[in-house]
C-alpha cells in the first residue's frame, strides 16, 4: 500500500511545532544512545549523530548537536538499503546496519543503524543514527590506519544488512561482526545502543502521528523541506554572482606521495550554486581519498556555515546546491581505494576550500584555515583481567585545535573541526578507562595565525603510557599549516612526538603511521594546530594585542612589536603614539608568513579576474 500523494496544508503554528518535534525526536535518539552505549568515544567523545528521513530517504531533521558530516551523508546509506531490499521487503521490527564507504558511509568505523517506521500498516519513514565505533578490525587497533592502501586494510566492510528481522536478532550476521573486531563486547553494546535509539525514535514518530494525524505530519514534512529550500535560496541570492576558485593541499597521501592537490571552483547564479572539483588530483595510493557522499556532505556543511546556520537542515536546504567531481579523483575515488582519512582529514580541507572560495565574493563571511584534521590517534594493547585472563583494549583520541580568524572575530580555541561536534575527552575518563596518565593538558599559544583577527589556539597534551602498547596516527596539517586569508598569516601545524622512557629528547612521530610500539613510561605529546589569521595583523586593535600579551597568548612585548607593530612599554602599558608611528612605517612592507606551496585564490566575475 502506498502513501497518498495529496497531503493537507499545515498552518504555520502547527508546522513549527512539528518541525521542532522532529528535532526533539532526534535528540531523544541521541540521549538513548549516550545512556546505553559502552564505548568512551560515544559517551564522552559524542562521536555520533541521529536523523529522521521520509519514505524516500529525504532528510527531515537531525540532532543539531550531532556530527554534521554523518547526517549529510546518511541519506545515501538509507537509500542504499532501500535499493538493496526494497520498501515492500521491509517490515515492522526490522533494523538495518551498514558501514560501507561506497554505499553512503563515511569511513568504516562509522556504523549506521536505521529502522523503517510503520504507522497504520504503512511505511512512513526511517529513523537512523551513525556512530564511530572504537574498533572494526583491520590492520591497526582502532581501525584508523593512516598508511592503509586499500579499504580492506581498514576493517570489516558491511554492506546494508538486516540485523533484526521483525524484532528478532539475525544472530549469524551479528556473530560475523563480533568475530571481526578487537572489542566484541564493546561493539555489541554500542550496536545495541544504536538499535535502542532508533526504536525510541520510531515510537516517538508513531506517537506524533497518533496525536496530529498521519496526513498532517506527512504534509508538514513536505512543507518543512520546501521551506528549507526557500530559505537556502534566499541566502544564496544575497551572494554576488560570479565564479570563485581556491586550492590547497593535503600534506601527503600516507605512502610517500604528495602533497595532494584539492581544488574547487564555485559558480553562483541567482539562487543556484555549483561546486566543481575538477583540477583536484587523481585518487592516490594512500588513505586520503574521500568518497563522493562525504565530498557532497562537506559542501553542504560549508553552505550552512557560510549562509545562515539557522536554516533547517532538511533535504530541501541542499536542492539549490550542485556538486560535481571527476570519478577517479581524490574527492570521488573508485573502490577499493582507502578512504579512512577521507572523512577525518580530506573533508576538512574541502570545507575549508569552499569557505575560502565563497569568501572571495563575500569577505565578511569568510573563515581562514582551521586545524584541518580530526587529529585521530589510536592506541591499543593487552591487559590482564581480574581472573588472570588477557583481553585487548583500544583507545581513540582526537584532541581539538584552533579555528581560523574571521572578519568580525578571532578564531575559536580548542574546538572540534567543522565536520563534527565531538568533545575533548576528559583526562579523568582517559585515565580511568585506559593504561595511561595525562601529564600535561593546556593551551598551545604563539604568534602564528596573526591577523586583524588571529587564529584560535590549539592544545598540548602529554600522555604517559603505563603499559606496553602500539599507537597509530591519522592526521594532517603536519607540514602545510592552516592558511591565512586577506593578508593574514598562516597558522601552525599539528605536531606529534614521543619521548622514550629514560630519554631526554623528543622524537617526531609521523602523521600517518600504524602500530608504532610504545613501552610503559613512554610519553606521547600532541600539539594541535593554531588557525590561520584573517586580515592584515597591522590592522589588529592595539588593545587586543596588549590583552593577548597580558593573557600569555603572545610571548612578550617583543612579539607584539614584531608581529603586530604594537609598542608596549616596560611597565606593560600601550604606547599608542609609538604604535601608530611604527605601523605607518611598516605599512605596505610587511612580509606575510605563509607556507611555500602555490595557493592562488582568485575571483572571477563579469569576465574580469583580480587577485585576492
Could you read off the pLDDT of 132-174 as tens digits, one per residue?
A: 999 999 999 999 999 999 999 999 999 999 999 999 999 999 9
- 542-551 and 557-564 helices cross at what angle (nearest 10)? 150
Q: 522: which residues sit within 8 A by CB, 6+ positions away?
A: 464, 465, 498, 499, 500, 501
Summarize pLDDT for 435-482 with one digit per residue, the tens. 999 999 999 999 999 999 999 999 999 999 999 999 999 999 999 999
Q: Is residue 152 part of a domain?
A: yes
Give residue 113's pLDDT: 97
Partners of residue 396 on adjacent β-strands:
378
Are 328 and 364 contacting, i.e. CB atoms less than 8 angstroms apart?
Answer: no
Mean pLDDT of 182-195: 96
Q: Is residue 198 part of a domain?
A: yes
Residue range of the domain that includes 160? 12-228
Give residue 600's pLDDT: 44
Q: Is residue 313 part of a domain?
A: no
For 473, half-sphere exposure in the C-beta direction (CA atoms, 13 angstrom radius) is 24
Q: Is residue 386 part of a domain?
A: no
Residue 276 neighbours by CB distance under 10 Å: 18
pTM: 0.92
Which DSSP helix (H) or strand (E) runs through 464? Answer: strand 458-465
Rounded Cα distance between 136 and 385, Å, is 22
Name the average pLDDT for the chain.
92
Q: Is residue 355 part of a domain?
A: no
- Is 382 a residue whose pLDDT tops 80? yes
Rounded Cα distance between 306 and 315, Å, is 18
Are 148 and 139 contacting, i.e. CB atoms less than 8 angstroms apart?
Answer: yes
Distances 350 to 357, 389, 594 between C-alpha atoms, Å:
10, 46, 20
- Is 383 a residue whose pLDDT tops 90? no
Q: Is residue 120 part of a domain?
A: yes
Q: Is residue 195 part of a domain?
A: yes
Partners of residue 496 on adjacent β-strands:
526
Summarize pLDDT for 329-352 with one digit per residue, the tens. 999 999 999 999 998 899 999 999
For the chain, give the percent of residues with pLDDT over 90. Answer: 83
Give residue 596's pLDDT: 56
For residue 221, what pLDDT band results from cuts at 50, 70 and 90? very high
Q: 361: which residues sit within 8 A by CB, 6+ positions away?
A: 239, 240, 242, 244, 268, 603, 605
Grid coordinates of 378: 589510536
Rounded Cα distance between 148 and 168, Å, is 37
Cα 437-442-445 angle, rounded to 5 deg: 145
- Is 605 a residue whose pLDDT tops 60? no
For residue 257, what pLDDT band results from cuts at 50, 70 and 90? confident
Summarize pLDDT for 504-537 with one digit per residue, the tens. 999 999 999 999 999 999 999 999 999 999 999 9
- Is 231 a residue whose pLDDT tops 90? yes
Summarize pLDDT for 2-11 with one digit per residue, the tens. 454 567 889 9
Which DSSP helix (H) or strand (E) runs through 84? Answer: helix 68-85
Grid coordinates of 492: 601552525
Distances 230 to 314, 319, 479 between C-alpha atoms, Å:
12, 10, 42
Among the residue ranges 125-134, 423-432, 489-498, the one predicted with the least confidence is 423-432
For residue 219, what pLDDT band results from cuts at 50, 70 and 90? very high
Give residue 66's pLDDT: 79
Query: Which residue bears the cell 551479528?
Result: 174
Give residue 5's pLDDT: 53
Partners of residue 440 on adjacent β-strands:
462
Backbone phi, psi, residue 340, to 5°: -60, -30
Instruction: Give Cα 202 to chain centroid, integer Å.
Output: 27
* Number of domains observed in the structure of the chain: 1
Give residue 609's pLDDT: 35
Mean pLDDT of 407-417: 92
Amino acid at each position: 500500500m502506498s502513501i497518498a500523494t495529496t497531503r493537507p496544508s499545515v498552518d504555520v503554528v502547527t508546522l513549527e511545532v512539528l518541525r521542532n518535534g522532529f528535532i526533539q525526536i532526534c535528540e531523544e535518539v541521541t540521549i538513548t544512545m549516550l545512556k546505553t552505549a559502552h564505548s568512551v568515544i560515544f559517551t564522552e567523545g559524542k562521536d555520533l549523530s541521529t536523523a529522521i528521513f521520509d519514505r524516500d530517504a529525504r532528510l527531515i531533521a537531525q540532532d543539531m548537536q550531532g556530527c554534521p558530516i554523518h547526517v549529510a551523508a546518511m541519506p545515501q546509506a538509507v537509500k542504499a538499503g532501500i535499493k538493496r531490499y526494497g520498501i515492500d521487503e521491509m517490515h515492522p521490527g526490522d533494523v538495518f546496519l551498514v558501514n560501507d564507504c561506497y554505499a553512503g558511509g563515511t569511513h568504516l568505523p562509522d556504523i549506521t543503524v536505521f529502522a523503517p517506521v510503520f504507522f497504520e500498516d504503512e511505511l512512513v519513514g526511517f529513523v537512523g543514527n551513525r556512530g564511530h565505533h572504537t574498533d572494526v578490525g583491520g590492520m591497526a587497533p582502532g581501525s584508523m590506519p593512516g598508511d592503509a592502501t586499500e579499504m580492506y586494510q581498514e576493517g570489516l566492510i558491511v554492506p546494508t544488512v538486516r540485523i533484526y528481522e521483525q524484532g528478532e536478532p539475525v544472530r549469524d550476521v551479528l556473530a560475523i561482526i563480533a568475530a571481526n573486531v578487537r572489542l566484541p563486547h564493546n561493539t555489541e553494546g554500542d550496536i545495541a545502543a544504536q538499535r535502542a535509539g532508533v526504536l525510541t525514535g520510531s515510537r516517538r514518530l508513531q506517537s506524533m502521528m497518533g496525536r496530529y494525524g498521519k496526513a498532517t505530519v506527512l504534509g508538514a514534512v513536505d512543507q518543512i523541506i520546501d521551506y528549507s529550500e526557500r530559505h537556502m535560496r534566499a541566502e544564496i541570492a544575497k551572494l554576488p554572482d560570479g565564479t570563485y576558485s581556491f586550492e590547497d593541499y593535503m600534506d601527503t597521501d600516507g605512502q610517500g606521495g604528495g602533497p595532494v592537490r584539492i581544488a574547487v571552483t564555485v559558480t553562483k547564479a541567482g539562487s543556484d550554486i555549483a561546486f566543481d572539483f575538477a583540477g583536484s588530483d587523481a585518487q592516490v595510493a594512500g588513505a586520503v581519498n574521500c568518497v563522493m557522499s562525504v565530498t557532497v556532505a562537506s559542501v553542504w556543511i560549508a553552505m550552512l556555515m557560510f549562509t545562515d546556520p539557522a536554516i533547517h537542515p532538511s533535504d530541501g536546504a541542499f536542492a539549490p546546491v550542485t556538486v560535481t567531481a571527476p570519478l577517479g579523483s581524490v574527492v570521488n575515488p573508485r573502490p577499493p581505494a582507502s578512504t579512512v582519512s577521507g572523512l577525518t582529514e580530506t573533508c576538512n580541507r574541502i570545507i575549508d576550500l569552499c569557505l575560502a572560495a565563497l569568501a572571495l565574493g563575500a569577505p565578511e563571511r569568510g573563515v581562514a584555515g582551521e586545524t584541518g584534521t580530526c587529529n585521530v590517534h589510536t592506541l591499543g594493547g593487552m591487559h590482564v583481567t581480574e581472573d588472570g585472563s588477557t583481553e585487548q583494549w583500544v583507545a581513540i583520541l582526537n584532541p581539538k585545535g584552533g579555528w581560523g580568524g574571521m572578519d568580525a572575530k578571532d578564531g575559536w580555541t580548542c574546538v572540534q573541526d567543522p565536520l563534527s561536534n565531538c568533545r575533548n575527552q576528559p583526562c579523568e575518563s582517559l585515565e580511568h578507562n585506559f593504561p595511561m596518565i595525562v601529564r600535561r593538558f593546556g593551551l598551545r599559544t604563539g604568534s602564528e595565525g596573526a591577523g586583524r583577527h588571529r587564529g584560535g589556539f590549539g592544545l598540548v597534551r602529554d600522555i604517559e603510557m603505563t603499559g606496553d602498547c602500539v599507537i597509530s596516527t591519522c592526521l594532517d596539517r603536519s607540514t602545510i599549516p592552516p592558511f591565512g586569508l586577506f593578508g593574514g598569516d598562516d597558522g601552525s601545524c599539528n605536531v606529534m612526538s614521543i619521548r622514550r622512557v629514560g630519554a631526554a629528547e623528543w622524537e617526531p612521530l609521523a602523521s600517518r603511521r600504524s602500530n608504532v610500539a610504545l613501552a610503559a613510561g613512554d610519553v606521547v605529546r600532541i600539539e594541535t594546530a593554531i588557525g590561520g589569521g584573517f586580515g592584515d595583523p597591522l590592522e589588529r586593535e592595539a588593545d587586543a594585542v596588549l590583552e593577548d600579551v597580558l593573557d600569555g597568548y603572545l610571548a612578550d612585548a617583543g612579539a607584539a612589536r614584531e608581529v603586530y607593530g604594537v609598542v608596549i612599554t616596560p611597565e606593560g602599558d600601550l604606547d599608542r603614539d609609538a604604535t601608530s608611528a611604527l605601523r605607518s612605517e611598516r605599512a605596505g612592507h610587511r612580509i606575510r608568513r605563509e607556507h611555500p606551496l602555490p595557493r592562488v585564490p582568485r575571483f572571477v566575475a563579469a569576465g574580469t579576474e583580480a587577485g585576492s
